[in-house]
Amino acid sequence: EDKVVQSPLSLVVHEGDTVTLNCSYEVTNFRSLLWYKQEKKAPTFLFMLTSSGIEKKSGRLSSILDKKELFSILNITATQTGDSAVYLCAVEPAGNNRKLIWGLGTSLAVNP
Amino acid sequence: DVKVTQSSRYLVKRTGEKVFLECVQDMDHENMFWYRQDPGLGLRLIYFSYDVKMKEKGDIPEGYSVSREKKERFSLILESASTNQTSMYLCASSSLFLRDNEQFFGPGTRLTVL
């Protein structure tokens, strides 16, 4: 059965810290992996990763995929209170009518 | 600016009522999805549709039905609402054919069934 596991489930850090969120997966015929940020509203898209070893970067956020070891990490450097959110990881298997398999998310709290 | 809208942000209904949740997207997307989100359970797919009048059950379709008569609109129907259907309902859409398959989400409807 296809599955996506995120760790840790929750994390509390201080402003300025660097955090690493993990997403491991088991899917048949991997196509892509996506990261979303969810504050007290709908998820918003962060990154899509399809190739191993190629870092995607947006400001203080970056992500990389390892297709051999079947995981991805999301890094946030110099965290701010506005980074407090649930970070969701999803994987798209090929031939699945573009449906996504979702992880449960990592809840990040950044304290001032 | 791409947009997915949902008919209500908050809804309170009574047990046994028929409930309609509507979702409209303006991106000409083929795929549309209905999820519910509950604490500790993550996003769970109820139904999705990849074309007009086409639908496919997701992971938790029991107690729900859907309708897609037009490409831009996807409705979720609770035939007889029950208290265990109290939840946040999220609609999303995506392209079936584009290489980038990000799903765009609506703002969500928080449904309370009393």
Interface test with chain A among B101, B104, B109, B110, by most A beta carbons within 10 Å:
B101
Q: Is the separation of the CB atoms in A103 and A6 below 8 Å?
A: yes
Give the count of alpha carbons within 13 A of A85, CB side only. 21
Q: Is the separation of the CB atoms in A73 and A13 below 8 Å?
A: no
Is A58 near chain B, with CB under 8 Å? no
CA distance B82 to A72: 38
Q: If residue B33 lies in a helix (H) or strand (E), which one and from where to where? A: strand B31-38
Tens digits of per-residue pLDDT, B47-79?
A: 999 999 999 999 999 999 999 999 999 999 999
Is B109 near chain A, with CB under 8 Å? no
Check residue A18 and report its DSSP letter. Answer: -
Instruction: Tell me whether residue B62 is exposed, middle or buried, using C-beta atoms within 10 angstroms of its C-beta: 0 to 12, 13 to 18, 19 or more.
Output: exposed
Cβ distance A104 to B105 less than 8 Å, yes or no, reads: no
Interface test with chain A among B10, B32, B43, by most A beta carbons within 10 Å:
B43
The nearest CA of chain B is from the CA of A90 a distance in Å of 10
Give the residue-averaged pLDDT of B84-88. 97
What DSSP letter does each residue of A23-64 carry, written as one string? EEEE-SSEEEEEEEEESSSS-EEEEEE-STTPPEEETTEEEE
pLDDT in the model for residue A41: 84
Q: Which of B70, B80, B66, B79 is nearest to B34 (CA)?
A: B66
> What tens-digit pLDDT sequence spans chain A (112 residues)?
889 999 999 999 999 999 999 999 999 889 999 999 999 889 999 999 998 888 999 999 999 999 999 999 999 999 999 999 999 999 998 876 778 999 999 999 999 9
pLDDT in the model for residue A51: 86
Cis preceding linkage at A8, omega within 30: yes
Give the residue-averaged pLDDT of B10-33. 96
R_g of chain A computed on alpha carbons: 14
Helix, strand, coil distribution of chain B in percent, nearest 5: 5, 55, 40
Residue environment code for A29-48, b if the CB has 16+ CB neighbours within 10 A, otherwise e: ebbbbbbbbbeeebbeebbb
Closest CB from B45, B106, B108 relative to A99: B45
Q: What is the residue type of B51? A: D
